[in-house]
Amino acid sequence: MYDDILLPTDGSDGIAAAAEHAGNFAHRFDATVHVLSVVDTRNRFESPTAGLSAEAWTEAERERAEQAVDDTVSALPESVPVETAVVEGVPRSEILAYVEDERSDLVVMGTHGRTGLDHYLIGSVAEKVVRRSPVPVVTVRLTAED
């Protein structure tokens, strides 16, 4: 039923909860987990007064994304086959493109469960993926305690 499971990560605390679910699906269906992190190219701080160049932003984001992939892979069971990818772009768009390009059968991703003003200001990558994904999406609430 599921051969390729996408597990997007941004390195948030609690990603182990989503990794546990992805690992369980992978074990049950003998699937490969694809751990993806996106280098967010939308530099929110690039301005004459912010003092952070586009290159510095992208480099910091790349380091964060690579660390997020490493941390997430280490949270998966060793018996699960894993492929990794770090791509650049807008997270929701790159996750959906990966689903299409790699023919993922399932997406398992964390959500912070933001509501109200936080949700309005920050948005929800998970919500946008759920609304547009051509394959099932399992969302797992991430908390620092996980």
pLDDT single digits (tens) 91-118: 999 999 999 999 999 999 988 655 554 4
- What domains lie within the chain, and their CATH numbers? 4-141 (3.40.50.620)
CB 86 within 8 A of CB 39: yes
With pLDDT > 90 as the criterion, what percentage of the chain qualifies?
64
Query: Which has the closest alpha carbon to 136: 113, 103, 108?
Result: 108
Report residue 119's pLDDT band, with 50, 70 and 90 as the boundaries: very low
